[in-house]
């Protein structure tokens, strides 16, 4: 098949959406499909896998997120490209101006469409002081995704939320994790020495966008509560974002290492001891699966990936959403019981070993193939009338 993929974020950008879309594109190419990737032009180069043909379009910087861009509308360019080489189906991963123009163009050309719901933009408004826009954002998301044949979501809970919001096209496509990359074998004593973390000093890890919607205040309070019990504890932050500067200024004992990729990221995961993730704005949260695969017990709210993959007292602690006191207590409980921490670390990795990336790709290509076949049948039926 020839599959069009449209995304406003893609490597070398580092975020959950970019990495998930790249994984889908690379997986399709590895399975022998031709991938027609459309994304905004980026300042840094990125060498993609064989079988992925890329069209870079105009973009603009995303306010308050240095290094991230969104795509500008490109309807005419997309029509010309898809008239020359028509995709069997397209997957539109993001809901920005480029994504909207892709959905509209494909709809007008009769190309079957799947969209992805990766980010709860409707919940972000409150974090940036524009909560009054939430109904408008939800209305836009509803219109956008209802124009597709399927809207792919990673959890049953999110599918139910979208249905309640009026999105009628939600379809489950589960996420996977690369357990070869994220692996306890990458634990690095030299890296822990740089962090000044001895064997008796638990290292708490944060990986992700350092931004207000991630509930960072609770992350800080949880660590400070741990530190009251274990003064030698260390807190390592991997990532970047608009809240980093203030956080780093106000907490000089925290260790900020910026963006990490590939084996370096794997070493940071494996060299920590526990993963504390208090976000309430995730559609999924790939970092939870990555942490578990690296052998880190996780403390998280019962949202996204945690709702389906985190089992209380087995591979971490799963806290009822909004229970801040319970969240802090769970983090302290885990950090202050070394034997339990080690036991949960073993269970953490075992709990995600069955999440095969190849199985996800096969489900994805099966869905796209069915959309293409159904669309072809509809056209033949219409022509016969």
User: Is the model more confident about 213 or about 310?
Assistant: 310
Task: State yes or no: pLDDT of 153 exceeds 90.
Answer: yes
The percent of residues in the chain predicted with pLDDT above 70, rounded, is: 92
Residue range 26-34: mean pLDDT, rounded: 95
Residue 158: how many CB atoms within 10 A of its CB? 22
Task: State yes or no: pLDDT of 16 exceeds 60.
Answer: yes
Tokens of 347: 């269970």
Residue 190 burial (C-beta neighbours within 10 Å; 0-12, 13-18, 19+) = exposed
What's the pLDDT tens digit per position in 325-366?
999 999 999 999 999 999 999 999 999 998 889 989 999 999
- Cα dihedral 148, 154, 155, 157 sign: negative
HEC states along the chain? CEEEEECCCCCCCCCHHHHHHHHHHHHHHHCCCEEEEEEECCCCCCCCCCCEEEEEECEEECCCCCCCEEECCCHHHHHHHHHHCCCCEEEECCCCHHHHHHHHHHHHHCCCEEEECCECHHHHHHHCCCHHHHHHHHHHHHHHHHCCCEEEECCHHHHHHHHHHCCCCEEECCCCCCCCCCCHHHCCHHHHHHCCCCCCCCEEEEECCCCHHHCHHHHHHHHHHHHHHCCCCEEEEECCCCCHHHHHHHCCCCEEEECCCHHHHHHHHHHCCEEEECCCCECCCHHHHHHHHCCCCEEEECCHHHHHHCCECCCEEEECCCCHHHHHHHHHHHHCCHHHHHHHHHHHHHCCCCCCHHHHHHHHHHHHHHHHHHHHHHHHHHHHC
User: Is the model more confident about 374 or about 377?
Assistant: 374
pLDDT of 182 reads 96
Q: Is the bond preceding 12 in cis, omega lying within 30 degrees of 0?
A: yes
What's the pLDDT tens digit per position in 190-211?
999 999 998 888 999 999 999 9
Cβ-Cβ contacts under 8 Å for 371 (sequence gap 6 or more): 89, 112, 113, 114, 149, 150
Task: State yes or no: pLDDT of 183 exceeds 80.
Answer: yes
Task: State yes or no: pLDDT of 68 exceeds 90.
Answer: no
Residue range 287-311: mean pLDDT, rounded: 95
pLDDT of 65 reads 60
What's the pLDDT tens digit per position in 217-265?
999 999 999 999 999 999 999 999 999 999 999 999 999 999 999 999 9
Domains and CATH numbers, the chain: 2-176+356-384 (3.40.50.2000), 184-350 (3.40.50.2000)
Task: State yes or no: pLDDT of 7 exceeds 50.
Answer: yes
pLDDT of 383 reads 47
- Among the listed ranges 11-15, 150-154, 318-322, 361-365, which one has the minimum average pLDDT value? 11-15
Mean pLDDT, the chain, rounded, equals 91
pLDDT of 47 reads 87
Task: State yes or no: pLDDT of 306 exceeds 90.
Answer: yes
What's the pLDDT tens digit per position in 73-124?
999 999 999 999 999 999 999 999 999 999 999 999 999 999 999 876 655 5
- Among the listed ranges 107-111, 173-177, 248-252, 292-296, which one has the minimum average pLDDT value? 173-177
As beta bridge partners, residue 2 has 34
């Amino acid at each position: 098949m020839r599959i069009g993929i449209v995304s406003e974020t893609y490597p070398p950008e580092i975020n959950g959406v970019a990495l998930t879309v790249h994984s889908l594109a690379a997986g399709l190419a590895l399975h022998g499909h031709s991938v027609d990737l459309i994304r905004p032009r980026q300042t840094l180069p990125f060498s993609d896998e064989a079988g992925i043909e890329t069209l870079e379009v105009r973009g603009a910087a995303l306010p308050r997120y240095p290094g991230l861009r969104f795509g500008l509308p490109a309807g005419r360019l997309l029509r010309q490209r898809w008239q020359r080489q028509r995709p069997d189906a397209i997957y539109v991963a993001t809901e920005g101006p480029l994504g909207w123009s892709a959905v509209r163009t494909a709809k007008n050309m009769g190309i079957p469409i799947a969209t992805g719901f990766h980010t709860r933009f409707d919940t972000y408004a409150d974090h940036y002081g524009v909560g009054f826009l939430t109904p408008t954002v939800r209305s836009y998301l509803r219109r956008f995704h209802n124009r597709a044949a399927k809207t792919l979501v990673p959890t049953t809970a999110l599918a139910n939320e979208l249905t309640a919001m009026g999105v009628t096209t939600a379809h489950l496509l589960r996420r996977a994790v690369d357990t070869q990359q994220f692996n306890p074998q990458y634990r690095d004593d030299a890296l822990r020495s740089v962090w000044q973390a001895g064997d008796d000093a638990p290292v708490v890890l944060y990986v992700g966008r350092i931004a207000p919607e991630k509930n960072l205040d609770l992350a800080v309070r949880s660590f400070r509560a741990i530190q009251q019990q274990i003064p030698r504890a260390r807190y390592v932050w991997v990532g970047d974002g608009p809240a980093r500067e203030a956080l780093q200024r106000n907490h000089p004992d925290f260790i900020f290492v910026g963006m990490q990729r590939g084996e370096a990221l794997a070493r940071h995961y494996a060299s920590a001891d526990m993963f504390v993730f208090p976000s309430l704005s995730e559609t999924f949260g790939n970092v939870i699966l990555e942490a578990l695969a690296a052998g880190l017990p996780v403390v998280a709210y019962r949202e996204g990936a945690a709702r389906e993959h985190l089992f209380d007292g087995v591979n971490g602690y799963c806290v009822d959403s909004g229970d801040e006191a319970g969240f802090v207590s769970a983090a302290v409980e885990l950090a202050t019981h070394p034997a339990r921490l080690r036991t949960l670390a073993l269970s953490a990795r075992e709990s995600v070993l069955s999440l095969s990336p190849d199985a996800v790709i096969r489900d994805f290509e099966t869905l796209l193939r069915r959309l293409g076949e159904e669309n072809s049948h509809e056209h033949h039926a219409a022509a016969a009338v």
